[in-house]
Amino acid sequence: MAKGYSGVSLPFPTLAKEALKDTQLRTNLARATTTIRDKRARVVGEVTDWEELRQAGHDIKMASLSNLSAHLTKFESEFTAAGGTVHWARNSKEACEIVARIAKENNIQEVIKVKSLTTDEINLNEYLATQGIVAKETDLAELIVQLADEHPSHILVPAIHKNRDQIRDLFVDKLAEAPAGLTNSPRELAMTARAHLRKKFLTSRMAVSGANFAIAESGTLCVVESEGNGRMCLTLPEILVSVVGVEKILPTWEDLGVFLQLLPRSSTGERMNPYTSFWTGKGDGPKSRHVILLDNGRVQTLADEQGREALACIRCSACMNVCPVYERTGGHSYSSVYPGPIGAIITPQLLGEGEAKTLPFASTLCGACYEVCPVKINIPRILVYLRGKENSANASLTEKIVMRLAALSLTSKGLKVLGTAIRTFSPVISSRPAQKIAHYLPVAKKWSAFRDIPKTRLTRKVRKP
């Protein structure tokens, strides 16, 4: 996102500390993530070959990534042969400029948008605004976030940090269509947004979307959604521009079958999503169709053998819904369009060395994310790998010394000394004066803020042997 996605942001622990103070946020998040988590578990539990499906999803994605350039070339030739136009963008700037150029060439001042993380990643709305072009979000939650002048805090449920009362107040304040006496009922809120958006769908001449999948063999793009706003945007305007990360390629339609089973169950907890749209070059709907194939750090990520698995992500959000860290801090603490466990491994890699460096450490490595990932991305493994990369480049001298000393004290010889030391000094270290002093010592105070130094368990006698 604009805030922070450029890499200029506060460290995760600082932002998380602030977020933790917001008790309303914590309540909203806990309620929402628990609901989605339970829904997902229920529908995943129905699929007897879920583990095989996950493995298939993983294998297809990894095989596709290993031959990416061939699949992209195939996609380009098919999409072009069907009458569409393919553009290539190395970074955010190039992609944004292409969208703005298409709008200007067609004399367009307002575009409607399908919910798209990739366009958020490149800060498209903000760039278009500088060019005098208004970008209007049409997904309900994206609209809420846009009206509040905020950023999404979750990739699937962008307004997860808000509750119904907060949304009602926002609509009353910002939407002319809000009726007198609007309540917080979901239906009333949705109907208000619908009245507002319907006019936009019928009058806008250009839409911008992303894509969930790009099928190489036929040059087809696919968007999976729940509300139907996407279908409106993809069919009603004259011009359609889709910004698609190069990793979204799947070789064949048969491959797609696997993901259409994995994605809805993992994301919204539904057996099937309400709307799945496909388009190829020209046909019914928009007369002019463009696709911008975006790199923006993906190629450098692909070059990293240890980290490339992160590109298999299908943006389902199951990992953030089960993450105990995300559940407490919310998405904004990650300063990235991609928060949660997957964000902690994607953001630093897309941005490159020296950026988003606190994110790989924002995890207890509890493994809940890996367990639910529909494409079996071993997120804990990549987190640990990225920690190592970050430490080699930027760890403080103090930390390096401490870790080296710790390594020495944990050898066989070291352990003998350490064991004796702990047994001897334990009563002192865990005494009340020592507990108080710990509040003032660096590192120790981080521990002592929430917990005592426990009486060491090495000295405890076995109970009634």
Whether residue 247 contacts residue 197, with contact meaning beta carbons closer than 8 Å, is answered with no
Count, residues near other proteins per rule CB under 8 A: 54
> Where in 42-101 does DSSP place strands (E)?
85-89
- What is the distance between the alpha carbons of residues 254 and 321, in angstroms, rounded to a whole number? 29
Is 422 one of the binding residues for other proteins (CB under 8 A)? no
Q: To which residue do tokens 């630093």 refer?
A: 348
Tell me the closest approach of the beta carbon of residue 361 to other proteins, in angstroms: 5
Whether residue 270 contacts residue 62, with contact meaning beta carbons closer than 8 Å, is answered with no
Tell me the closest approach of the beta carbon of residue 377 to other proteins, in angstroms: 15
DSSP for residue 312: G
Kind plus residue range of the DSSP H or E element containing 250: strand 249-250
Q: Which of 124, 135, 250, 368 binds other proteins (CB under 8 A)?
A: 368
Tell me the closest approach of the beta carbon of residue 174 to other proteins, in angstroms: 32
Tell me the closest approach of the beta carbon of residue 452 to other proteins, in angstroms: 4
Is 451 one of the binding residues for other proteins (CB under 8 A)? yes
Is 366 one of the binding residues for other proteins (CB under 8 A)? yes
Closest alpha carbon to 343 in 166, 163, 151, 167: 151
Q: Rounding to the nearest 10 degrees, give the CA dihedral for residues 212, 215, 220, 222.
A: -20
Question: Binding to other proteins (CB under 8 A): which residues in 388-407?
Answer: 388-391, 395, 403-404, 406-407
Tell me the closest approach of the beta carbon of residue 154 to other proteins, in angstroms: 17
State CA 439 to chain mean position distance: 36
- What is the distance between the alpha carbons of residues 364 and 325, in angstroms, rounded to a whole number? 8
Is 412 one of the binding residues for other proteins (CB under 8 A)? yes
Nearer to other proteins, 41 or 72 (CB): 41
- What is the distance between the alpha carbons of residues 280 and 415, in angstroms, rounded to a whole number? 65
Q: Which of 260, 387, 422, 434 binds other proteins (CB under 8 A)?
A: 387
Given the rule CB under 8 A, which of 39-47, 103-111, 200-208, 386-394 is the region that contacts other proteins? 386-394
Q: Which of 329, 336, 349, 426 binds other proteins (CB under 8 A)?
A: 329
Residue 284 neighbours by CB under 8 Å, 6+ apart = 235
Whether residue 276 contacts residue 222, with contact meaning beta carbons closer than 8 Å, is answered with yes
Q: Which of 289, 363, 374, 377 binds other proteins (CB under 8 A)?
A: 363
Question: Binding to other proteins (CB under 8 A): which residues in 426-445?
Answer: 443
Residue ranges binding other proteins (CB under 8 A): 12-13, 16-17, 20, 26, 324-325, 328-329, 360-368, 370-371, 384, 386-391, 395, 403-404, 406-407, 410-412, 415, 443, 446-447, 449-455, 457-458, 460, 462-465
